[in-house]
Amino acid sequence: MELSVVIVNYNTRELLRACLQSLMNQPTDAEIIVVDNASSDGSAAMVAEAFPDVRLLAQAENTWFCGGNNLGIAAARGDYVLLLNPDTIVARHTLGTLLSFIKQHPGYAGCTAQMRYPDGQIQRTCSRTPSIAYLFANHTPLMLLKAWQARLNAHHWYAEWDRKSDKDVEVVPGSCTMMHRNDIILDSDLRLYFPEDDLAQRIQRPFRYLAAAQITHYEKAATQNWAATRNYYRDLFIYTHKHHGWAVMALLWLLSRPLYWGMWLKKTARST
């Protein structure tokens, strides 16, 4: 077995159905593993009934993105693993394109596909690892320094690149990451955010973005709520502490409070 595809699902049943159907249409053989994080929408039952060849790991509680993927990776039998979001449609031959590249280029940490919104617009994926300046410019009132923030963001997101061509990048999206199985374990202290940045910091080898491999992505299908915002900031501080130390994390926490409280007040006002 060369390739295992790991999909962590939480209450995205119909999107997951479409994703699995697109994987069934791939000419490249792959083991498909779905880790269902105690969904309440019948996702697990749908997989068991409609896709009997898919390995279903139904959890009794939410193990989050990182924990769920680690469960899938531990169960995988392939030499290579593709982490894939359930809100994706994989174009024909995409698995083959990714697998062929990673097998032929062992010097790379891994690879990813071009991701598009349902309307065909190319998504801005792949980045550099977040610098301390970037973290402060985007999570504290220092974002009011617009020119400085814009320069940092342009550098972080490879602003000169239109995503229509292949490129070596530092960070690839967690929604589509192919790596060797031995390299791809995620930090289980994180829940949803920054696992790909953490991987890049630990691996210290380039990833490859492949424009010929294409995926449609219904972005943020399961993370459009206040709980996701709280988890974002939780993971932000865990990541910052791990890679930049206690002092930087503590200062980022302190300076980010006005923005965090402002979002909380806005959310509270909308719900009353």
Tens of pLDDT, residue by residue over 91-124, are 999 999 999 999 999 999 999 999 999 999 999 9
Question: In the prediction, which pLDDT does 221 show?
Answer: 53
Query: What pTM was computed for the model?
Result: 0.94
How crowded is the C-beta side of 76, counted as CA atoms within 13 Å? 32
Q: Taking 60 as the threshold, does the pLDDT of residue 239 lie above it? A: yes
Element (H, E) at 172: none
* E strand residue ranges, 96-203: 110-116, 167-169, 176-180
pLDDT, mean of residues 203-227:
84
